[in-house]
Structure 1
Amino acid sequence: MTTATIRPVFPINGDVLHILDGTLTRDGLTCVVKVSAPSGSSITINNNVAGEIEEGIFSVPVVFDQYQNTLQILNETSGESMTVTAYFARRFAKKYRLSIDDNIRFLQDISNHAGEYTSIFDNPFLKGLKELHERYQTKVHLNLFYQSVGEDFTLSEFPDTFKKEWQENAGWLRLSFHAYKEFPDAPYKNASFDTVKKDCDLIMGEIKRFAGDALLGPVTTVHWGEVNVEGARAMRAAGYKGQLGYFNVDDDQPTVSYYLTVEQRRHMKKRFIWKDEAEDIIFVRSSMVLDRTKKEDIAVNMDAYSNAPSGLPPYVDYLIHEQYFYQDYPAYQPDYFEKVEAAVRWAKEHGYEPAFLDECIFE
């Protein structure tokens, strides 16, 4: 078996570059490309000679001027060559959104009060989100269950009488598949393609019925962030080519990492974004889980990214779960919206602007 003598260091195959990775000019994004090869090798990258900046590491500046870019790497000494595909998402950096998982209760409340509510924002939860949007222009992504915990409500019961209002607010609201229901935990970890696809289609169909296509998008977070590759393929087949998780590694936290390997999770922890070329899926790492963070620690923990190997997140994805808003929930958090506002305020003060992921990572 032949051992490879060249290896990409940055970018690797599937990396998604952004404006913080290099220098932006009229020609595109100039980044220093690095590869590993035996010391003394003659290395070219896209026909440009790469200099050996340290033993076994070669680099040369390259302009990335397209969304999808190809690097042709050649070791002229050995004759070995390889191709790396990297993406330039020019709108990705310095953006943020609020993502909320496990949503079903606010929908059940609106359904129960359909004869009384004249607006979806008569619901206290959505009202709080709308007020946040009015203050900060925050964009909010809601990942939905199909069935309530008590099994006394499904999305099929939600009325379509508010469809026009949903569509009027499509500029700052997104709705997407999360899971059929909350329990059991990690329901799709070992699920088949057909099972995941069926639940995706079920929830997406209901969203189209009561809210319309404008509220859908190609990004979601699956419940517990755990699916095997078959499940991820099913989500991709349903249209979800962007998938969110925590991508924890080298700690005692739940991995919430889909099917990614330890090495891939380590890369995600540092880069926050990466595309699996084989599956045509872009993975994005959440920046903070707000219901697991004390209000007074939100700014401190976000600032702490500056000293981490990753640096500050290029795109800040705040995650929180719906159920912590409600007083009858055992882990009720009375400062729910205070936490959300503290997080959004940090993003604004640090120059992040509201944007959905599908506005930033695809072209």
Structure 2
Amino acid sequence: MATTTFLFPVDGDMLNARDGVERDRDLHLTVRLRSDSPALAVNGRPARREADGTFAAEVSLAGYRNTLTAVDAEGREERAVVYWLRDAVGRYQFFVDDVIWMFRDIARSHAVGVSIFSNPYLAFFRSLYERFGTLTHMHVYYETDGFTLAQMPADRRHEWREAAEWLRLTFHARADKPDFPHRDATFEETLRDCRRVTDEICRFAGDGLLSPSTVPHWNEISVDGIRALRSQGCRILPGAWKSAQYSPAVQEHVQQRDFWKDHHEDIISLWSNICLNRTPFDAIVPHLEAQRGNPHTTGFLYMMIHEQYYHPDYQAYIPTYCAGIERAVRWAVEQGYRSAWLEDVVLE
């Protein structure tokens, strides 16, 4: 019995203009397959046999969701569902993990008439938006060292609503420890922790800062954990591909693409292009420049940092924290990238 395998694109691939040629709003690309059948057709078009024994066929994608159907000489079919993202090239988003100290400091300095933007950390990200148009997504803990989000004052909702133009706040974990809290988490545990954070964000800031995207602490998350977050409206889990349920082949593939969708769990995943607290200041631009060599991972730039490195009393304090973020953002803008929310790029 003949077997046929899609080599490119594969099931779940989210394609952009760099994967083919955009013409009249359609994406025209070459589909590549491996098969031991003597002949193949893809979406009704005969595939040609290449010198290396694989098959290739030219197809066009007109809509967001597209089914590729390969039919062998005996009429057997193999399918792959792929996506055409028309506005995924030349966009970037910045995100921050482990965010809780900002809220602690805002709560501690709370007084009548004091703006949330008097907090220098929040004010810095507002300034990025004002100068570069940068949209920032913060992934939030519920508690740290005796402080919880329940202590956040709720009388500045009008200012948080103002920040919704450039800021998103979503669940990250209950707290910084233990490490990998979602790796073996149950549905109920993940749901409880997610709701705890989300309910507080809605209380003090409003639901206008929520998003269908979030990053679990340390990225790894169980299947039950994914399903819990999906039940709360999450549709994008950027680092979930690192989890144990994904084979090494899938993990390797995701690292070679801007986006990929897991159809079993109905969740979109991606990888970050740079973690600034792990990249020396002078290496930021060379790191980003080097990544340009792979056009399939730099159509969309996903750049990040962790909150704690901003604080001088943190053991691994980075004095160039803000300067490093600005350097990365400035480089992206100078290369023609414009900031966009993930959901506006990958969801229909």
TM-score using structure 1 length = 0.92
State the match for 1:28 in structure 2.
Answer: 26
Distance in 2 (alpha carbons) for counterparts of 1:228 and 1:161: 37
State whether structure 2 residue 230 is matched by structure 1 residue 233: no
Deviation at 1:259, TM superposition (A): 3.6
Runs of 4+ that moved beyond 4 A: none
CA distance in 2, matches of 1:162, 1:12: 47
Task: For 1:100-111, list aligned pairs within 5 A.
Answer: 100-111=96-107
Give the aligned partner of residue 286 of structure 2: 300
| CA offset digits 1:24-56 (Å, max 9, x no partner) | 1224111111111127x2211111111112333
- Alignment gaps of 5+ in structure 2: none
Distance (whole Å) between structure 1 residues aligned to residue 89 and residue 271 of structure 2: 13
Cα deviation code 1:185-235 (max 9, x no counterpart): 111111101100111111111111111121001001100001111111111
The 5 A counterparts of 1:247-326 are: 256-257=242-243, 259-308=245-294, 312-326=297-311
- Does the alignment pair 1:126 with 2:126? no
Correspondence for 1:359 among 341, 344, 348 = 344
- Please name the residue that 1:189 is paired with: 183
The reply on whether 1:99 has 2:108 as its aligned counterpart is: no
Q: Take 2:25 and 2:336, find their aligned partners in 1: how far apart are those partners?
A: 25
Q: Which runs of 5+ in 1 are unaligned?
A: 248-255
1:159 matched to 2:153? The reply is: yes
Q: In the aligned structure 1, how far is the partner of 2:9 from the partner of 2:154?
A: 47
Please name the residue that 2:334 is paired with. Answer: 349
Q: Is the 8 A contact 2:48 2:55 kept in 1?
A: yes
Query: How far apart in 1 are the matches of 2:43 and 2:151?
Result: 57
8 Å CA contact retained: 2:172, 2:215: yes
Which residue of 1 is the match for residue 15 of structure 2? Answer: 17
Deviates more, 1:124-133 or 1:51-60: 51-60
Partner letter of residue 172 of structure 2?
H
> Contact 1:229–1:258 (CA<8 Å) still a contact in 2?
no
Tell whether the 8 Å contact from 2:258 to 2:297 is kept in structure 1 after alignment. Answer: no
Read off the aligned partner of 2:121 and give its amino acid letter: F
Contact 2:19 2:296 survives alignment (8 Å): no
Matched residue, 1:334: 319
Indicate yes or no: 2:61 matched with 1:64: yes
Q: 2: distance between equivalents of 1:129 and 1:67? A: 32
TM-score, scaled relative to structure 2: 0.96
1:52 counterpart residue number: 49
The reply on whether 1:177 has 2:171 as its aligned counterpart is: yes
Q: Distance in 1 between matches of 2:205 and 2:300?
A: 27
Three-state SS of the structure 1 residue aligned to 2:333 is helix
Amino acid at match of 1:185: D
Cα separation, 2, equivalents of 1:44 and 1:90? 26
Q: By how many angstroms is 1:147 displaced?
A: 0.4
CA contact (8 A) 2:220 2:240 kept: no
Give the letter aligned to residue 52 of structure 1: R
- Supply the distance in 1 between the matched residues of 2:41 and 2:25 (Cα, whole angstroms): 21
* Inter-partner Cα distance in structure 1 for 2:217 and 2:115: 28
Q: 1:220 aligns to what SS in structure 2?
A: coil
Alpha-carbon distance between aligned partners in 2 of 1:171 and 1:54, rounded to the nearest angstrom? 53
For the structure 1 residues 86 and 187, does the alpha-carbon distance in structure 2 shift closer, same or farther, using more than 3 Å as the test? same
Decide whether the 8 Å contact of 1:225 with 1:258 is kept in 2: no
CA contact (8 A) 1:7 1:36 kept: yes
Deviation for aligned residue 1:257: 4.1
Partners of 1:348 and 1:210 in 2: CA distance: 33
Do the aligned residues in 2 keep the contact of 1:146 with 1:179 (CA within 8 Å)? yes
Out of 75, 87, 96, which is 1:79 matched to? 75
Find 2:141's aligned residue among 145, 151, 157.
145
Cα deviations by residue, 1:302-359 (Å, 9 ceiling, x for unpaired): 1112335x65522111110000000000000010000000110111121111001011
Alignment of 1:224 onto 2:218? yes
Identity %: 36
Paired with 1:258 and 1:324, the residues of 2 have a C-alpha distance of: 29
Q: 1:260 offset after TM fit, Å?
A: 2.1
